[in-house]
Amino acid sequence: MKFDIMRDRLLDGLNNAMRAVSSKTTIPILTGIKLDVTAEGLRLTGSDADVTIQTFIQPEEDGKQIINVEAPGSIVLQARMLHEIVRKLPTNIVEIEVTDNFQTFIRSGKSEFHLIGSDANEYPQLPELSNNEQFSIPSDLLKTVIRETVFAVATSESRPVLTGVHWQTTENELICVATDSHRLARRKVTVDNLPTGQNVVIPGKSLNELNKILDDSSTAVEIALTSQQVLFKTNEVLFFSRLLEGNYPDTSRLIPNEYKTNVTINGKLLLQAIDRASLLAREDRNNVVRFETVGDNSVEISSNSPEIGKVKEQIAVEQAEGEELKISFSAKYMMDALKAIDGQDVMIQFTGAMKPFILRSIHDDAILQLILPVRTY
Amino acid sequence: MKFDIMRDRLLDGLNNAMRAVSSKTTIPILTGIKLDVTAEGLRLTGSDADVTIQTFIQPEEDGKQIINVEAPGSIVLQARMLHEIVRKLPTNIVEIEVTDNFQTFIRSGKSEFHLIGSDANEYPQLPELSNNEQFSIPSDLLKTVIRETVFAVATSESRPVLTGVHWQTTENELICVATDSHRLARRKVTVDNLPTGQNVVIPGKSLNELNKILDDSSTAVEIALTSQQVLFKTNEVLFFSRLLEGNYPDTSRLIPNEYKTNVTINGKLLLQAIDRASLLAREDRNNVVRFETVGDNSVEISSNSPEIGKVKEQIAVEQAEGEELKISFSAKYMMDALKAIDGQDVMIQFTGAMKPFILRSIHDDAILQLILPVRTY
């Protein structure tokens, strides 16, 4: 195996593939990056067994020579070391040569590194994905969907299936739900040519990593779901994630159908007030703030911490209808939900101080956030 | 105590005073910031007992009203909480009022915080500094002097006096020395009207904090040294630090007078080559690289790590004179020294493979870096 490559492109590819490599892996070969070079180009693969990321670099881009292959081949090189070396090489041309016994030479300018590689045949094979049952979503929309749901997954492993986001498809709608059993985030997306009846749980950790790789463009991301794996495919990257096993609970029954108090309010002002109130709520460890309707045109946010002090603040509302209400909830859950709705005017619908309440954007019915209150009154 | 203040200026002041407040303090009142408000303005004091930072905000700046004092007074408020509250207040006008029993109200817009303060009389008094024996250095030069020396202080407390930087004055020169007994950094600065015979050791930690507060302007920083304390005074901040006790070792004898090998080399290229070599040196825990003269016009930098691999690289030198040399040293110490010299051409003067060697800028005799080699050949 021997080839030259432009350092900057190799570094871009490594930056992506590295995201899947974990220093905590118990499988030694997965501390490495696999390089496969053929006349078609260089494929880089990184994996932590749950997530696998592949990037492909073509020999020519926009008429510019990127790779010059003298001899094809494959090798696994220690990921962190390879990345650091490539980052620090003195010139923009890198030569990589593998000789007997996986001895690898990396040359650039007058600098020569000699690394001991590993046999690429020992690197785990990727599962084959059939080509049917695909659909696609623009990259920026996919990022939004992830951002609006993934924060609500459970962080504890006591019910592993809740650490993922539930994706279900109907004829033309993808429904994404996450819950940690104290709050729930649901986002619906209209998608053309959707394979119906899909029902998978994607690990929250994988979606967070995917979100870092996706760009804010409207380029389509192709998505292929199978019973064990999901593949997200962009122009540059193949992102594979295993799926979570187990049945996701039916969450539709949690969402109330009728409401006793409706409050429409500027989401940004409410977020800032909750943020201030949470300064004192946080000190008390439980992070609970109180929310109280004051007549038809304002609400009061308050919290206290016996040893430090207390805070209260009134905010004007756009509209308040229905019964008077005093309710307490986690400042963190409320702030997460308001951030997901992203500063728009929100409608908050309550069914009483001890019942779950929901938040929606007044502009957009696609997103729904549900929060369980805390008993303090 | 009752006054209004512009939020932005209060926040600036808190940002500075907060730097001295440590969450690890064992003295409860030092988790607070002291506010003293008089008709002359607001003084903020933060301290961790070693370093004390005071900032002063005047009632008027550039004809603009900053503070409006209704009733003077003093209070100590929990530093981190006060800082977070002020940072998040909804409007740019803040009212602070202290009533009976140190009850403190912070109001801004429709938001009202109520904090439990502490008695300002319990806050430690600052030492009185006599006004003689002062001198001044431009802020940017003082930052440079700190940057060029403080990295070389000892991090272990086994000889506490070595955790500080030794400042000595002669008639017109301030000499700053730091050493951890494996390497040494010395910087001389010509200063007018210097009080001679000063001899103090300033904690490295204090100088690092001071460096963050100083700006890159040529504004004079006034410096007052006493036997226990040093005060750095800028337009905005009074920065007090305790001094370290104990006699600083005489380091002048460590610096060799004659040399057997002189190498002049581009500091930036050498730094980058050492950085690359240290990638492998680091893996071996000892971080040692080898340096070898190759004829009169180049040197070879190399290192190896038996399990990972090895690296070598030749660099052209401007000039090499004297005996051939093979020497090994800590990559970290060499990189620290080259960074202090800041990318300029350096002259490295060796007295043999087992003797300390020195680095100087070829443009500037004020800075000297000394490193002890490591025995490997």
% of chain B exceeding 90 in pLDDT: 85
Residue contact A111–B311, C-beta within 8 A: yes
Would an 8 Å CB–CB cutoff place A112 in contact with chain B? yes
Residue of A nearest to B310 (CA): A114
Instruction: Decide if pLDDT at A377 tops 60.
Output: no
What pLDDT score was predicted for residue A342? 84
Residue contact B283–A115, C-beta within 8 A: no
Residue contact A283–B89, C-beta within 8 A: no
Class of the CATH-defined domain B136-182+189-249: alpha beta
Instruction: Decide if pLDDT at B93 tops 90.
Output: yes
Can you tell me the distance from the alpha carbon of A68 to that of A60, in angstroms, rounded to the nearest whole number? Answer: 9
**Looking at CA atoms only, how far is residue B292 from chain A in angstroms?**
15
pLDDT tens figures, A28-64: 999 999 999 999 999 999 999 999 999 999 999 999 9
Where in the sequence of chain A do the CATH 3.70.10.10 domains occur? 255-371
What pLDDT score was predicted for residue A363? 84
> Which residues of A fall within a CB distance of 8 Å from B85?
276, 279
ipTM of the complex, rounded to two decimals: 0.86
SS3 string of chain A?
Answer: CEEEEEHHHHHHHHHHHHCCCCCCCCCHHHHEEEEEEECCEEEEEEECCCEEEEEEECCEECCEECEEEEECEEEEEEHHHHHHHHHHCCCCEEEEEECHHHEEEEEECCEEEEEECECHHHCCCCCCCCCCCEEEEEHHHHHHHHHHHHHHCCCCCCCHHHHEEEEEECCCEEEEEEECCCEEEEEEEECCCCCCCCEEEEEHHHHHHHHHHCCCCCCEEEEEECCCEEEEECCCEEEEEECCCCCCCCCHHHCCCCCCEEEEEEHHHHHHHHHHHHHHHHHCCCCEEEEEEECCCEEEEEEEECCCEEEEEEEECCEEEECCCEEEEEHHHHHHHHHHHCCCEEEEEECCCCCCEEEEECCCCCEEEEECCECCC
Q: Is B62 helix (H, G, I), strand (E, B) or coil?
A: coil
> Which residues of B fall within a CB distance of 8 Å from A309?
104, 113-116
Residue of B nearest to A108 (CA): B313
Can you tell me the distance from the alpha carbon of B377 to that of B356, in angstroms, rounded to the nearest whole number? Answer: 16
Would an 8 Å CB–CB cutoff place B314 in contact with chain A? yes
Class of the CATH-defined domain B2-122: alpha beta
Nearest to A5 by CA among A89, A67, A85: A67
Residues 140-179 of B with CB under 8 A from A: none
Q: What are phi and psi of B280, to 5 degrees?
A: -85, -35
Would an 8 Å CB–CB cutoff place B312 in contact with chain A? yes
For domain A135-229+240-251, the CATH architecture is: Roll (3.10)
> Which residues of B fall within a CB distance of 8 Å from A273?
90, 111
CA angle A275, A257, A154 (to 5 degrees): 45
- How many residues belong to chain B? 377
Question: What's the Cα-to-Cα distance from A192 to each of A274, B130, B283, rounded to whole Å?
Answer: 39, 80, 52
Residue of A nearest to B275 (CA): A88
Residue of A nearest to B88 (CA): A276
Where in the sequence of chain B do the CATH 3.10.150.10 domains occur? 2-122, 136-182+189-249
Contact by Cβ (8 Å): B281, B305: yes
Can you tell me the distance from the alpha carbon of A208 to that of A63, in angstroms, rounded to the nearest whole number? Answer: 35
Q: Which residue among B114, B307, B310 places its CB closest to the CB of A309?
A: B114
Q: Which residue among A111, A275, A315 places its CB closest to the CB of B276?
A: A111
> Which residues of A fall within a CB distance of 8 Å from B116?
307-309
Instruction: Decide if pLDDT at A284 tops 80.
Output: no
What is the rounded radius of gyration, in angstroms, for the C-alpha atoms of chain B?
Answer: 25
Can you tell me the distance from the alpha carbon of A64 to that of A86, in angstroms, rounded to the nearest whole number? Answer: 20
**Looking at CA atoms only, how far is residue B139 from chain A in angstroms?**
34
Average pLDDT rounded to a whole number, residues A302-307: 89
**Looking at CA atoms only, how far is residue B308 from chain A in angstroms?**
6
Average pLDDT, chain A: 94
Q: Which residue among B115, B275, B311 places its CB closest to the CB of A113?
A: B311
What pLDDT score was predicted for residue A375? 82
Average pLDDT rounded to a whole number, residues A79-100: 96
Can you tell me the distance from the alpha carbon of A291 to that of A333, in angstroms, rounded to the nearest whole number? Answer: 14
> Which residues of A fall within a CB distance of 8 Å from B272?
88, 90
Q: Which residue among B88, B110, B272 places its CB closest to the CB of A275?
A: B88
Residue contact A111–B280, C-beta within 8 A: no
> Is residue B80 left, alpha or beta, with left meaning phi > 0 and alpha meaning psi from -120 to 50?
alpha
What pLDDT score was predicted for residue A132? 66
- Amino acid identity of B211? N
Average pLDDT rounded to a whole number, residues B39-61: 96
Can you tell me the distance from the alpha carbon of A124 to that of A27, in angstroms, rounded to the nearest whole number? Answer: 10
What pLDDT score was predicted for residue A126? 83
Residues 6 or more apart in contact with residue A246 via CB below 8 angstroms: A160, A161, A201
Residue of A nearest to B102 (CA): A309
Would an 8 Å CB–CB cutoff place A102 in contact with chain B? no
pLDDT tens figures, B277-330: 999 887 666 799 999 999 889 999 999 888 889 999 999 999 999 999 999 999
> Which residues of A fall within a CB distance of 8 Å from B114?
309-311
Q: Which residue among A81, A311, A312 places its CB closest to the CB of B279?
A: A81
What is the CATH T-level fold of the domain B255-371, as seen in this structure?
Proliferating Cell Nuclear Antigen (3.70.10)
Q: Which residue among B81, B113, B312 places its CB closest to the CB of A112?
A: B312
Residue contact A114–B309, C-beta within 8 A: yes
Average pLDDT rounded to a whole number, residues A161-187: 96
- Give me the residues paired with residue B251 across strands: none
% of chain B exceeding 70 in pLDDT: 98
What pLDDT score was predicted for residue A315? 95
Structure tokens at B133: 């024996």
Strand B60-61 to B51-57 pairing: unpaired
What pLDDT score was predicted for residue A191? 94
Residues 72-91 of B with CB under 8 A from A: 78, 81, 84-85, 88-90
> Which residues of B fall within a CB distance of 8 Å from A108?
none
Would an 8 Å CB–CB cutoff place B307 in contact with chain A? yes
At residue B226 the predicted structure's pLDDT band, cuts being 50, 70 and 90, is: confident
Average pLDDT rounded to a whole number, residues B53-69: 95
- Amino acid identity of A109? G
pLDDT tens figures, A334-360: 999 999 998 789 999 999 999 999 999
For chains A and B, CB pairs below 8 A equal 86
Contact by Cβ (8 Å): A308, A339: no
Can you tell me the distance from the alpha carbon of B6 to that of B108, in angstroms, rounded to the nearest whole number? Answer: 10
What pLDDT score was predicted for residue A326? 96
- Amino acid identity of A274? I
pLDDT tens figures, B112-141: 999 999 999 999 988 777 666 799 999 999
Average pLDDT, chain B: 94
Residue contact B111–A313, C-beta within 8 A: yes
Would an 8 Å CB–CB cutoff place A7 in contact with chain B? no
Residue contact A313–B110, C-beta within 8 A: yes
Residue contact B311–A81, C-beta within 8 A: no
pLDDT tens figures, A265-283: 999 999 999 999 999 887 6
Q: Which residue among A88, A115, A311 places its CB closest to the CB of B276?
A: A88
